[in-house]
Amino acid sequence: MFRFGKGKQRSKVGKLIDRHGYTQEEFVSASGISRNTISRVCSDPKYVPSAGVLKKIMKAVRSIDADAKADDYFNI
C-alpha cells in the first residue's frame, strides 16, 4: 500500500497523520478543508493557516490526539 510522505518533507501535522496511518484524503474528510490546503498543511512546516482553517484542522487533529494544542503543530 502506498503511503504519502516517504522521502518527502513533512510538517508536524503530516507526521502525525502518517504515524497514525491516516491518508491526506481521510484528513480532508475529517477536517472539511480542501485537498490543496491539507496538502500544504502536511508538507510545509512553515505554513500558518488562517484562524478558521486552524480551528478545523485542530478539530481533526484532536480526533487523533485529544490533548493536542495548536502551538504543538504550528508556529503561532
Position 7 scores a pLDDT of: 65
Prediction pTM value? 0.84
Angstrom distance (rounded) from CA 43 to CA 36: 11
Residues 61 and 64: their CA atoms lie apart, in Å, by 5
Segment 42-47 shows an average pLDDT of: 94
Q: For residue range 10-38, list pLDDT tens digits in order.
A: 999 999 999 999 999 999 999 999 999 99
